[in-house]
A = this chain, B = another copy of it.
Amino acid sequence: MFHPMHLLLFYTLYYLCLKKNMRLLTVGSVAFDAIETPFGKTDKIIGGAGTFIALSSSFFNRDQRIVAVVGDDFPTDMIETLKSKGVDTEGLQIRKGEKTFFWSGRYHNDMNSRETLVTELNVLGDFDPIIPSSYQGTPYLMLGNLSPQVQSTVIERLNVRPKLIAMDTMNFWMDIAMDDLSKTMSMVDLLIINDEEARQLSKEYSLVKAAKAIRAMGPKYLIIKKGEHGALLFHGEKVFFAPALPLEDVFDPTGAGDTFAGGFMGYIAATDDTSFENMKRAIIAGSALASFCVEKFGTERLLEITREDVDARIEQFVALTDFNMGHHSSI
């Protein structure tokens, strides 16, 4: 006999099965940073694209995996923190007697330009992205900023092509490894870069022209991040413009781009929906997380906030851009 409880049970099981499948694999640096901004200065703190992506995506998707490498100087409590956020760390290689990647940089007054003071590649110098067999079949892949050769190796080592492969990159790789970068770009669905990078990559100043040129290189989807000016999503003939929240102060921009990408991919993985409409929502989610990231040094703010804080900020984004033209054509 049918009973309403059966329906509830059915949906609960269906939901759990879906959830099981909603996994995100992140490949990216897990590192130390030392940062100087006009507001202050840090000693070595925890950073790295992989760290920011995993922490950020955990607000939507607590079923995720990471492939990265650290030295044995990396604090185990941070690895425990990642685990507590639902990150499977089997793919996090810990190299005995070696040192973790270290970057140090200084931001200038307007926070839009920075100089690198120190880059010590350490374990990242010969990083071999080994994919644990338990990671095979992960439906969503986020390739944080790394050498394009490492990024393409990851894709080649996956038995099943993910539903959506997103990648970040930076000017540095355009300068020294453009052939590798072209190859990797031809293998991914979505490229997430900033406006300066888009201009360098396409040799076009207009972002509309840049977007056309870049999508001709491979990625069907392109997100151009414009920092305090928001982000643009391009796909086919469609464009979506997401605002950035106007902030009193940007305390430390380090990791904001990775936090954006992590929030975006966490949202996509959790909803298991790669439609353009859902990508818009994912961009707002990523923007909300990035707006928290810049409020304190490094990962500090991401480790303090709750999902409720994120939802409240998403509501601020809705209010910020919401308008209704109503019957304007009648005036």
Q: Given A205-B110, A271-B331, A331-B270, do A323 and B240 touch, yes or no (CB 8 Å)?
A: yes
Copies in the complex: 2
With a cutoff of 8 Å between Cβ atoms, the chain B residues found around residue A239 in the complex are 246, 320
Assess whether A226 is interfacial by the CB under 8 Å rule: yes
- In the bound assembly, the distance between CA atoms of A277 and B323 in angstroms comes to 7
Assess whether A326 is interfacial by the CB under 8 Å rule: yes
With a cutoff of 8 Å between Cβ atoms, the chain B residues found around residue A319 in the complex are 238
A-B contact pairs, 20 of them (CB 8 A): A109-B205, A206-B250, A208-B246, A209-B248, A229-B229, A232-B246, A238-B319, A241-B243, A241-B320, A241-B321, A242-B323, A267-B331, A270-B331, A271-B331, A280-B322, A280-B323, A284-B325, A311-B328, A314-B328, A321-B323
One digit per residue, 1 when the CB lies within 8 angstroms of any chain B CB and 0 when it does not, for chain A 252-285 equals 0000000000000001001100000100110111
- In the bound assembly, the distance between CA atoms of A41 and B103 in angstroms comes to 47
Contact of A60 among B205, B230, B281, B331 (CB under 8 A): B331
Assess whether A13 is interfacial by the CB under 8 Å rule: no
Residues B241 and A281 in contact, CB atoms below 8 Å apart: no
Report how many residues on chain A are interfacial, defined by Cβ distance under 8 Å: 47
- In the bound assembly, the distance between CA atoms of A65 and B285 in angstroms comes to 46
Contact of A323 among B230, B281, B311, B331 (CB under 8 A): B281
Q: Which of A305-319 contact B (CB under 8 A)?
A: 311, 314, 318-319
Assess whether A249 is interfacial by the CB under 8 Å rule: yes
With a cutoff of 8 Å between Cβ atoms, the chain B residues found around residue A283 in the complex are 323
With both beta carbons as reference points, the residue of chain B lying nearest to A249 in the complex is identified as: B206
Assess whether A329 is interfacial by the CB under 8 Å rule: yes
Distance in angstroms from A230 CB to nearest chain B CB is: 7
Residues B320 and A240 in contact, CB atoms below 8 Å apart: yes
Distance in angstroms from A285 CB to nearest chain B CB is: 7
Distance in angstroms from A75 CB to nearest chain B CB is: 31
Assess whether A247 is interfacial by the CB under 8 Å rule: yes
